[in-house]
Structure 1
Amino acid sequence: MSGPRLFTVEEATHQAYDIFLELAPNNLSDKDVEEFNLHREELGFIEEDEPDEQWQDFVALEIEPEHFIQVLVGLEFDNEDVLFAKILISRDKDAPFCHILWKESE
C-alpha cells in the first residue's frame, strides 16, 4: 500500500497564501489589511517551515512534520517584522486541513 499523496511544499505554501488573502479581511483589522496591501510587494514575506510545538495547543490532531507545513505571512520592516498570520496546512491531498492563528488587533 502506498503512502498519502502529498502536495509539494511550494503547492501547499501557495494554497496557504491564497487562503490568507481570502480570509484576511474577515480576520484582521482594516488597518492591518490596508498596511499589508500597501507594503506586500516590497516588504511582504511568506516563509514555510516545519510546524512548531505551539500547534498542539490549538489543534487536536497529531501533527506529522512530513504531512504538514507551517507558513508565516507578514511584512519585514527595518525595525521589526509584523506577522499577520501563522498557518498550519496539510500537504495530504486526501485530508485537507488548514488552521490560522491571526495577528491580534491592536
Structure 2
Amino acid sequence: MSARLSSIEEVSQQAYDIFLELAADNLTAEDVELFDSHSEEFGFIEDSVPDDSWQSLVAYEQEAEAEHFVQVIVGLELDQGDTVFAKILISRDLDAPFCHIVWKQ
C-alpha cells in the first residue's frame, strides 16, 4: 500500500506556519525582529530534496524516504547575503507526521 502524501506546496506552507509559531522560542529577539520587519519584502521559503546533513541529525534514510520528505529553508535575502533562520525537514506522509527544525545559532 502506498503512502498518502501531501503536496510539496502544502507541507512547505505547514513548515512555514510551524516556523512562525516557534520562532520566538528558538531565535533571539533580534532575529525575530529582523525577520518580522523584513520578511514581507525580502523573505523566502525554499523547498528542496532533503540534503545529506539530515542523516546525522534524525533517523532518515535519504534513498528510501526521499519522496516522503521535503526540506524547507526559511530566511531573508538581504544585500549583505542570505540569512537562514531555520532549516526544516517535514514529512509529506499524512499517516506519519514528522517535523524537525534546525534553528539559526
TM-score, length basis structure 1? 0.94
- Please list every run of 5 or more consecutive structure 1 residues that lacks an aligned counterpart in the other structure: none
TM-score, length basis structure 2? 0.95
- Please list every run of 5 or more consecutive structure 2 residues that lacks an aligned counterpart in the other structure: none
Q: Does 1:85 align with 2:86?
A: yes
Query: What is the root-mean-square deviation in Å for CA atoms of aligned residues?
Result: 0.8
Alignment partner, residue 100 of structure 2: 99
Once the two structures are superposed, the pairs formed by residues 28-67 of structure 1 within 5 Å of their partners are 28-63=27-62, 64-67=65-68
Output the CA distance in 2 between the equivalents of 1:61 and 1:45.
Answer: 25
Once the two structures are superposed, the pairs formed by residues 60-75 of structure 1 within 5 Å of their partners are 60-63=59-62, 64-75=65-76
Output the CA distance in 2 between the equivalents of 1:59 and 1:77.
Answer: 30
Alignment partner, residue 17 of structure 2: 18
Which structure features the higher share of helix residues?
Answer: 2
Alignment partner, residue 4 of structure 1: 3
SS of 1:66's equivalent in the other structure is: helix
CA shift at 1:62, angstroms? 2.5
